[in-house]
């Protein structure tokens, strides 16, 4: 007869460590401080790139300093139907994303180390990553052109996700502070 959870003969199941509230709301450590500074700096770079693309979108797409010939054509990308989501220019969506990420990653908020901030940054970064994957697919498969300025935004987004993966587990109490992070 095999052990059953009903008769109490099952061996004890492995326990899952649930962090206490004090651990989840702790101040940043060395392992997470550099991540916050990096995420903030990357977010500001994203704001700058998105601002430039947004200005180009609303004024004259030719200021994007792309050749406009061959596969590298910012004008073709920023004027395509895929450059809008529900009528809103993708560049403006990106600007809003990076502005919010800049606030969430700013030193005063990073220093609070609260669980909801770590979760907010993570969810926002994941949504941003999925969105740029769609944008990259649109550039390559639908539009047939690549915008170098947009590629800069994509690289910044990938970098933010990569950097946040170093601190989020620590901030959520899922991993101890390994100061080498």
pLDDT in tens, 127-155: 999 999 999 999 999 999 998 889 999 99
Give residue limits of the domains in the chain: 29-171
Query: In the structure, what pLDDT confidence band is assigned to residue 19 with cuts at 50, 70 and 90?
Result: very low
Domain 29-171 grouped into CATH 1.20.1440.130: yes
- Residue with the larger pLDDT of the pair 116 and 62: 116
Section 9-34 average pLDDT: 52
| 104-143 exposure pattern, b = at least 16 Cβ within 10 A, e = fewer | bbeeebbeebebebbeebbebbeebbebbeebeebbeeeb
The DSSP symbol for 33 reads H
The per-residue pLDDT for range 83-122, each reduced to its tens digit, is: 899 999 999 999 999 999 999 999 888 777 678 888 888 8
């Amino acid at each position: 007869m095999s052990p059953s959870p009903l008769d109490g003969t099952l061996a004890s199941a492995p326990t899952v460590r649930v962090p206490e509230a004090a651990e989840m709301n702790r101040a940043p450590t060395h392992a997470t401080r550099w991540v916050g500074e990096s995420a903030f700096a990357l977010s500001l770079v994203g704001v700058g790139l998105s601002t430039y693309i947004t200005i180009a979108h609303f004024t004259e797409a030719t200021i994007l300093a792309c050749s406009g010939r061959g596969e590298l054509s910012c004008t073709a990308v920023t004027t395509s139907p895929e450059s809008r989501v529900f009528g809103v220019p993708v560049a403006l969506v990106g600007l809003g994303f990076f502005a919010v990420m800049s606030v969430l990653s700013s030193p005063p908020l990073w220093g609070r180390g609260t669980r909801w901030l770590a979760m907010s940054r993570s969810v926002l970064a994941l949504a941003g990553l999925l969105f740029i994957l769609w944008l990259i697919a649109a550039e390559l498969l639908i539009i047939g052109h690549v915008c170098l300025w947009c590629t800069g935004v994509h690289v910044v987004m990938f970098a933010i996700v990569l950097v946040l993966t170093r601190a989020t587990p620590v901030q959520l109490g899922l991993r101890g502070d390994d100061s080498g992070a």
